[in-house]
Structure 1
Amino acid sequence: MRLILAAFGVLVGASCVPALAQTKIGSVDTTFRLLGANDHIVIDRYDDPDVPNVSCYVSRAETGGVSGSLGLAQDPSRFSIACRATGPVTFPANVPQKQRIFTTSLSVFFKSLEIFRLLDTDKKVILYVVISTRIKEGSPYNSITAVPTTGN
């Protein structure tokens, strides 16, 4: 019985910790909070696992205060994405037309950030869109960016 309770505690504890981005670049405080952490904007980098030399930078808001410090605050579903070529980028030949490439948990209440890759075969451009799985007013907040490729 103790083993079952210990395993359940580990699972619940792990689900309360949001998944980390591939690389956290930093953060900027936006609102001072007397108790708990300040509200801030977090900037994370995600490198495309299938397209070499493409890095996506996502900025997102994190709520501070006591509830934010405990991981219980509901962060706003607003973010921005900018993907850049960090070297020569060739148009990927063997990747799907549309593919989810990253998912990161943003709260304990079933909210996550997802990044999708889409291919514009006519223009040889790779598109990236970031969305929140928590729907607001009928459609999720989103942001899009494009990375041109070199030939192929």
Structure 2
Amino acid sequence: MWVANGLLAALLALPLLVSAEEIGEVSTVFKWVGPNDKIVVEAFDDPKVSGVTCYLSRAKTGGVKGGLGLAEDRAEASIACRQVGPIRFTAELKEGEVVFRERTSLVFKTMQVVRFFDEKRNTLVYLVYSDRVIEGSPQNAVTAIPILPWPEQS
């Protein structure tokens, strides 16, 4: 019984993460067998800040390993977050909170987006980076959104 309670508590403690919607892709390397290597553009909405959408571009490895989900994707990614409506906080924000996470290898590597709030400048800051169980990558990208009034539509 205590194992089930512990498992339930662990699941509830996980951050509220969202899945990305694929916007588009371009092939970068032709592969004879399996899918091509490509750059994928995905979008996700911040789960705790309505009115914010983030766009990620990242490399996806193709070939046989990529097609089977066994390849390790490169660590490089780019991010651009934009205000797409009135910004409202739907829950309490935590500094450096993970708002998006995606596996980029079978087990050991993930790409994640964390959010910071620069209170002095009234700005949301999003950082994308890749980490690995043994050694992460210094490759990263950052974007910022000043919190501005949203024009009301009549």
What range is the shorter-chain TM-score in?
A: 0.7 to 0.9
After superposition, the C-alpha distances for 1:59-93 in whole angstroms (9 at most, x for unaligned) are: 11011111111111111111100000101225788
Equivalent position amino acid for 1:126 in 2 = L
Structure with the higher fraction of residues in strand conformation:
2
How many residues in Structure 1 have an aligned counterpart in Structure 2? 132
Where structure 2 has 5 or more consecutive residues not aligned to the other structure, the ranges are 1-17, 150-154
Aligned pairs for 1:1-152 (under 5 A) are 21-89=19-87, 94-134=92-132, 139-150=137-148
The structural deviation recorded for 1:50 is 0.7
Where structure 1 has 5 or more consecutive residues not aligned to the other structure, the ranges are 1-19
The structural deviation recorded for 1:97 is 2.8
The structural deviation recorded for 1:123 is 0.4
The structural deviation recorded for 1:29 is 0.7
TM normalised by structure 1 equals 0.77
Contact 2:51–2:88 (CA<8 Å) still a contact in 1? no
**Where do 4+ consecutive residues of structure 1 move more than 4 Å?**
90-93, 135-139
Contact 2:130–2:137 (CA<8 Å) still a contact in 1? no
The structural deviation recorded for 1:146 is 0.2
Identity of aligned residues (%): 43
CA distance in 1, matches of 2:137, 2:73: 17
CA distance in 2, matches of 1:138, 1:72: 19
TM normalised by structure 2 equals 0.76
Q: Helix, strand or coil for the counterpart of 2:65? A: helix
CA distance in 1, matches of 2:136, 2:69: 26
